[in-house]
Amino acid sequence: MRRAAVQALGEIKDPQTIDTLITALDDQRWQVGEAAVRALTKIGTPAVKPLSAALRDGDEGHVRRSAARTLEKIGTPAVRPLSAALKDDDGHVRWLAAKALGRIKNAWAVEPLSAALKDGDSDVREAAAWALGHINSTRAVEPLVTALADEDEGVRQAATEALAGINDAWDVEPLGDAPENATDDLLRARA
């Protein structure tokens, strides 16, 4: 019944229901939480500000994670709050924010994602490299070249694939600073 109620709120798309839907993200039944994500996505831009607050202030990690997934589905209006989430205490929230920014593909996120390449969590660094490759901006080349020397193999691989996919990356000077063995990996990934 709760799921049906949340779905109905999504259908009417009334911004006055946003707080109720954000509360439903924390429902004990996952189906209700998923319905709340879909309903908030349908409401769209008016839900960004309250979802941003839930992303920052939610007591439970899963509420913050649901808020990040919802913001991703809303798209470009959510780029700034997702960029701020790259500094969240919860590593999974930071990972989700990086992935969401890569799927949204807004060039405004290049700088915060580049900073996330220095995150203490290798999964977050890998997600940031992946996201930068999807945004496809030559502004990401220099930080990605630096990531080619990361201690984690997954991060290095993601940076290699990101650089291989960035249009005009080969025309950017910092590529010459890539570690010796990385150039061969780049050539293979580019082929």
Q: Which two tokens stand for residue 123?
A: 């999964």
Contact 99, 67 (CB under 8 A): no
pLDDT digits (tens, 9 = 90+) for 94-120: 999 999 999 999 999 999 999 999 999
Q: Is the pLDDT of residue 187 over 70?
A: no
pLDDT digits (tens, 9 = 90+) for 9-56: 889 888 999 989 888 887 888 888 888 888 988 898 998 988 888 877
Pick the more confident residue, 100 or 58.
Answer: 100
Q: Which two tokens stand for residue 149?
A: 């020397």
pLDDT digits (tens, 9 = 90+) for 134-164: 998 889 999 999 999 999 999 999 999 998 8
Q: How far is CA 125 from CA 4, 58, 109, 178, in A?
A: 39, 24, 14, 18
**68: confidence class by pLDDT, cuts 50, 70, 90:** confident
**58: confidence class by pLDDT, cuts 50, 70, 90:** low
- Taking each helix axis as running N to C, give the angle between helix 153-165 and helix 180-190, from 0 to 180 degrees, rounded to the nearest 10: 50
What DSSP state is assigned to residue 71?
H
Residues whose CB is less than 8 angstroms from the CB of residue 34 and which lie 6 or more positions away in sequence, other chains included: none
Residues 155 and 98 both lie in one domain: no
Q: How many CB atoms lie within 10 A of CB 73?
A: 16
Residues 25 and 82 both lie in one domain: yes
Strongest mean pLDDT among 5-14, 66-75, 128-137: 128-137
Q: What is the pLDDT of residue 123?
A: 98
The one-letter code for the residue type at 23 is T
Residues 92 and 1 both lie in one domain: yes
How many domains does the chain fold into?
A: 2
Q: Which two tokens stand for residue 78?
A: 């959510």
Q: What is the pLDDT of residue 97?
A: 93
User: In residues, how long is the chain?
Assistant: 191
Q: What is the mean pLDDT of the chain?
A: 85
Q: What is the pLDDT of residue 69?
A: 84
pTM of the entire structure?
Answer: 0.80
Residues 148 and 78 both lie in one domain: no
Contact 159, 127 (CB under 8 A): no
Residues 9 and 92 both lie in one domain: yes
Q: Of 49, 78, 104, which closes a domain? A: 104
Pick the more confident residue, 181 or 83.
Answer: 83
Query: What is the residue range of 35's domain?
Result: 1-104
Residues 42 and 131 both lie in one domain: no
